[in-house]
Amino acid sequence: MKKRMLMVVAGLLTAAVLGGCSGNSAQETTAAAAKSESAAEGEAETEAQSEEEAKAQNTAADSQYPEKAIELVVCVSPGGTPDVMTRLAANWLSEYWGVPVTVTNKSGGGAIPGALEALGAAADGYTVCAITSQNSSQQYGANTTPPLDVNEPTYLCRVFDVDLALTVNADSEWQDIKSFNEWALANPGEMICANTGAVSTAAFATAEWYDAIGGDVSQLRMLTTAGGSDSATQLAAGNCTMNFGDFAGSRSMVDAGKIRYLATSAKERNPYYPDVPTMAENGVEGLSVSMWIGYMAPKGTPDYVVDAWNEAVQVMLEDEGFQEGLANVTGRTAYLNAEDFKNLILEECDTYQTLAEKLGVRQ
């Protein structure tokens, strides 16, 4: 009996010890969980504070931008239409913002090196690049490995659109676009077309027009010139048959009676040259190649910079004084916000790839 009692007591003591251990373990687990939860709350609080600080910094930067000079890179030579229009905008923005907006020309290489250099700058809104379809959607469509990836930049907005017109020598037999279209289809080997490079707005506009009237684009003969104004000069001298260029670049030769406009590829007649008919009026539909001008910045440029540019540009385009200056270069306002501008470029890439293949210039 005594032995049995000793066994019971021993069992009770063992159970008590084990129970105590179990209780200690539970307490330790609870304490560890509480500590972990407290640490997580601390991390969350720190993260929230960091986000609030970042927002505060962005808000402060937003209210201060721009607070110093902005470099606006133009990837063509001085005097060209993109350069003239960009300088017009830069002057207005300088006064509006109260800081210098300085135009820097970095031309050559199909307008690509200058764009790449600008996109390699700090993403702080103080280096902006003026672009056209040539160094965005055109180069992308013409290359299997494009030097500039159109998905990379931070797009700000599109600002201008530049109407193109088909011109011929003033002493030529053609007085209207219909008669010229008929001749061009019947004499592809005799027609020499001015352009500013194999991958250029002039070349693509010519290819799109000739394809639309039923011609074989591969038979086109091209004369490469030093620029839009030189193309007009070469046409006036009789060194080529036609030129597809912007109104501003050919205006001086038209005014001098050396060359004449036959039609514009724009959807509507140019307000500064209302007597020049559209291609669509003469049965040539679906032409889309144009020389728009917009702005982009390095990847990662803050949203407040994008917002500041869009706000300023919209005010600029409504300014009567600015509109008067724009009229002198026959430009049209064509505002698109950042998202719509990027979508336009991506859509154009397919168009230019098709035209590049037909021209035989896709590499």
Instruction: Return the ∠ at Cα 342 (arms to 340 and 348), rounded to 5°.
Output: 100
Q: How far apart are CA 130 and CA 114, in angstroms?
A: 10
> Is 257 within a domain?
yes
Among residues 250, 282, 314, the one where a domain terminates is 282
Structural domain includes residue 156? yes
- Both 176 and 147 in one domain: the answer is no
Q: For the chain, what is the domain count? A: 2
Considering 282, 314, 333, which residue would you say is the last residue of a domain?
Answer: 282
For 91-101, how does the pLDDT look when each residue is reduced to its tens digit (9 = 90+)? 999 999 999 99
Range of the domain at 96: 70-162+291-359
Sign, CA torsion 170/171/175/177: negative
**335 part of a folded domain:** yes
Q: Tell me if the pTM is above 0.85.
A: no
Asked, for residue 127, whether it belongs to a domain, the answer is yes
> Same domain for 267 and 341?
no
What pLDDT was estimated at residue 330? 83
Q: From 282, 304, 322, give the residue that closes a domain.
A: 282
Q: What is the predicted pLDDT for the residue at 11?
A: 45
- Each residue's pLDDT, cut to its tens digit, for the chain (363 residues) gives 434 443 433 443 344 434 444 444 445 545 555 555 655 566 656 555 555 554 545 555 576 999 999 999 999 888 888 999 999 999 999 999 999 999 999 998 888 999 999 999 999 999 999 999 999 999 999 999 999 999 999 999 999 999 999 999 999 999 999 999 999 999 988 999 999 888 899 999 999 999 999 999 999 999 999 888 899 999 999 999 999 999 988 999 999 999 999 999 999 999 889 999 999 999 999 999 989 999 999 999 999 999 999 999 999 999 999 999 998 888 889 999 999 999 999 999 999 999 999 999 998
User: With 0-12 CB in 10 A as exposed, 13-18 as middle and 19+ as buried, what is 56?
Assistant: exposed
* Model pLDDT, residue 3: 41
CATH of the domain at 314: 3.40.190.150
Q: How many helices (H) and strands (E) does the chain have?
A: 11, 11
**Do 151 and 172 reside in the same domain of the chain?**
no
pLDDT tens digits, 229-248: 899 999 999 999 999 999 98
User: Are 199 and 178 in a shared domain?
Assistant: yes
Taking the C-alpha atoms of residue 181 and residue 15, their distance in angstroms, rounded to an integer, is 106
